[in-house]
């Protein structure tokens, strides 16, 4: 039987975006094994009803626990975290971490004028998860939130600059810019790829906060507190799974994450066939 500390970290996202979080975790915790599932067959999650996203998140988390024997689950997708973090934390008897709380914590530390912003998919912003997470921190800051439908699609097309994306960014970011925020959280895994455009629209005085690094730091703290951190003598082994086209996932994924994504495998979750 594998000792608890030797079990892998489980991570999932609707597709590729969570690879930004995987990169941060691999760099910060090189001794840890990692299993990543990207649900590219049912992607994108952003425009889908919350109940549907919650069902997918539950199914993948259950597979990580039952099929891969993970020691912790990282929800590396803002939309899935907004829909399912509370349920998964309650239902799973292991540490569960999402990108929302670490991002909000670093946002509240980044602001100087007390006005902060968060942008995300329609599902994430509509769920109120960021608004609640900030309220729970009890920080004396005012939040302006805006959904940015269309951003993910531009990133997927590889269009991270140019007039079209700039025009859309000008329109969608107007409410947060006009609110006078001085720190803006990129509350969607894809948005770091648009940071140049976003920064140009928001202006040089606005700090952009991305949750990937903060999530990795919080994961390290959590594993340490639970005595689940692996010793440095081990070199982490990383497995990547996709529910959709595996060749496409491996190809684009390698370009986004790096050489650790040597090969991807097909994910057939335990409960996948029963719930669809």
Least distance in Å: CB of 46 to ligand DGL? 3
Nearer to ligand DGL, 79 or 243 (CB): 79
Binding to ligand DGL by CB under 6 A, coded x per residue (else -) over 247-276, reads ------------------------------
Which residue of 7, 8, 10, 13 would you call a contact of ligand DGL, by CB under 6 A?
13
Q: What is the DSSP string of the chain?
A: ---GGGSPEEEEESSSTTHHHHHHHHHH-TTS-EEEEE-TTT---TTS-HHHHHHHHHHHHHHHHHHH--SEEEE--HHHHHHHHHHHHHH-SS-EEESHHHHHHHHHHH-SSSEEEEEE-HHHHHHTHHHHHHHHHT-S-EEEEEE-TTHHHHHHTT--SSHHHHHHHHHHHHHHHHTT-SEEEE-STTGGGGHHHHHHHH-TTSEEEEHHHHHHHHHHHHHHHTT-PPPTTS---EEEEESS-HHHHHHHHHHHH-TT---EEE---TTHHHH-
Residue 103 engages ligand DGL in binding (rule: CB under 6 A): no
Structure tokens at 234: 């081990």
Residue 46 engages ligand DGL in binding (rule: CB under 6 A): yes
Taking contact as CB under 6 A, which single stretch among the options 41-49, 66-74, 142-150, 169-177 is the one that binds ligand DGL? 41-49
Taking contact as CB under 6 A, which single stretch among the options 182-190, 195-203, 223-231, 235-243 is the one that binds ligand DGL? 182-190
Least distance in Å: CB of 231 to ligand DGL? 32
Subset of 190-219 contacting ligand DGL (CB under 6 A): 190
Least distance in Å: CB of 39 to ligand DGL? 8
Taking contact as CB under 6 A, which single stretch among the options 20-28, 43-51, 231-239, 254-262 is the one that binds ligand DGL? 43-51
Residue 188 engages ligand DGL in binding (rule: CB under 6 A): yes
Whether the CB-CB separation of 24 and 11 falls below 8 Å is answered with no
Residues 6+ apart with CB under 8 A from 206: 177, 181, 182, 183, 184, 199
Which residue of 100, 152, 172, 183 would you call a contact of ligand DGL, by CB under 6 A?
152
Nearer to ligand DGL, 63 or 78 (CB): 78
Least distance in Å: CB of 242 to ligand DGL? 13
* Catalytic positions: 77, 188
Nearer to ligand DGL, 17 or 230 (CB): 17
Residue 124 engages ligand DGL in binding (rule: CB under 6 A): yes
Q: What residues line the site for ligand DGL (CB under 6 A)?
A: 13-14, 17, 43-46, 77-79, 120-121, 124, 152, 188-190
């Amino acid at each position: 039987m594998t000792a608890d500390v030797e079990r892998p970290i489980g991570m999932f996202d609707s597709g590729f975006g969570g690879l930004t979080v995987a990169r941060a975790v691999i760099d910060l915790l090189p001794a840890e094994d990692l299993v990543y599932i990207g649900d590219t067959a049912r992607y994108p999650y952003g425009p889908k009803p919350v109940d549907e996203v919650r069902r997918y998140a539950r199914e993948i988390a259950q597979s990580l626990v039952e099929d891969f024997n993970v020691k912790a689950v990282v929800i590396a997708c803002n939309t899935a975290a907004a829909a399912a973090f509370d349920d998964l934390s309650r239902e799973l008897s292991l540490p569960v971490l999402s990108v929302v709380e670490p991002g909000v914590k670093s946002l509240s530390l980044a602001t100087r004028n007390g006005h902060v912003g968060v942008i995300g998919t329609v599902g994430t912003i509509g769920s109120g998860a960021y608004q609640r997470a900030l309220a729970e921190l009890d920080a004396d800051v005012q939040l302006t939130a805006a959904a940015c439908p269309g951003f993910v699609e531009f990133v997927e097309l590889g269009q991270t600059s140019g007039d079209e994306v700039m025009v859309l960014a000008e329109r969608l970011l107007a409410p947060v810019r006009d609110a006078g925020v001085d720190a803006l959280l990129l509350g969607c895994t894809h948005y770091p790829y648009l940071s140049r455009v976003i920064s140009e629209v928001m202006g040089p005085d606005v700090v952009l906060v991305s949750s990937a690094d903060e999530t990795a730091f919080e994961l390290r703290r959590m594993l340490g507190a639970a005595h689940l951190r692996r010793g440095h003598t081990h070199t982490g082994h990383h497995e990547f799974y996709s529910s959709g086209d595996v060749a496409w996932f491996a190809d684009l994924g390698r370009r986004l994450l790096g050489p650790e994504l040597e090969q991807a495998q097909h994910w057939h979750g335990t409960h996948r066939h029963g719930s669809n």
